[in-house]
Amino acid sequence: MKIATFNVNSVRARLPVVLDWLRYHDPDVLALQETKVPDDGFPVKEFEELGYQVAMHGQKSYNGVAIISKEKAKDVQFGLGDEQLDEECRVIRATFDGVTVINTYVPNGNEVNSEKWGFKMRWLDCFAEFSKDFAKSSERAIWLGDINVAPTPGDVYDSERMAGGVAHHPDEFKRLKKIVKTGWSDCFLEFCTAPGQYTFWDFRVPNSVGLNAGWRLDHIYCTESMREKCQRCWVDKTPREEEKPSDHTPVVAEFDTM
């Protein structure tokens, strides 16, 4: 299984970039975040013309997640089971050949100690409970998406300056660590140790891509049984360098699921 995650920052605005990426890389599953479109406006036809099927959970202008796949998704479900948190479309999960895929768009938090920050903390706490049953070592499960946390100094271009801010804060580290400790392995860290490998470059930072002033916010995690099958994991920076890009770029992993 070749699987990828990509925060597209509007699937309709980024459609040519996403379709070109699919044609070139030919993944089995592509998890999208921040699609920013209700389900009846999702460009399903364009994906179907490439031989893909779409399962989506979207809303107008904000948030939104989708799973693009060659195989039809089974047991598609949405949300965390919390009525308040699930007012925003941030979680979709489905099964492919016995592998559960959980696609998440974790809240950004906006500003430390703000109302949105509190929402993010509650969301991460809820996800810890939601995901622990999937994280068991015997389970075949992958959790991926825009996690909106850069958990180590190597995950941001200037850790000293960014420390204590949104996405690089001890409160986030603690909660992400709690989630991961239930049984998730960070696929990227299993294979990539070289510095400066990021997935997000802020539009507001002049020449952020050229300076590689980035963050690793997009992650792929797997259970122990899947970790043994993971063959490689990498960041593809190319889409971020194209015209009219998203501010994120894909992360890809390959698993031997035969």
Over the stretch 3-37, which tens digit does the pLDDT of each residue have?
A: 999 999 999 999 999 999 999 999 999 999 999 99
Instruction: Return the DSSP state at 258.
Output: -
What does each C-alpha distance from 7 to 52, 99, 107, 122 come to in angstroms? 18, 22, 13, 22
Q: What is the pTM of this model?
A: 0.98
**For range 182-205, the mean pLDDT:** 94
- Supply φ then ψ for residue 170, to 5 degrees: -55, -35
Euclidean distance between the first and final Cα of the chain, in Å? 9
pLDDT of residue 210: 96
Asked whether the predicted pLDDT for residue 258 surpasses 80, the reply is no
Question: What's the mean pLDDT in 186-193?
Answer: 92
Nearest Cα neighbor of 151 from 179, 132, 130 is 179
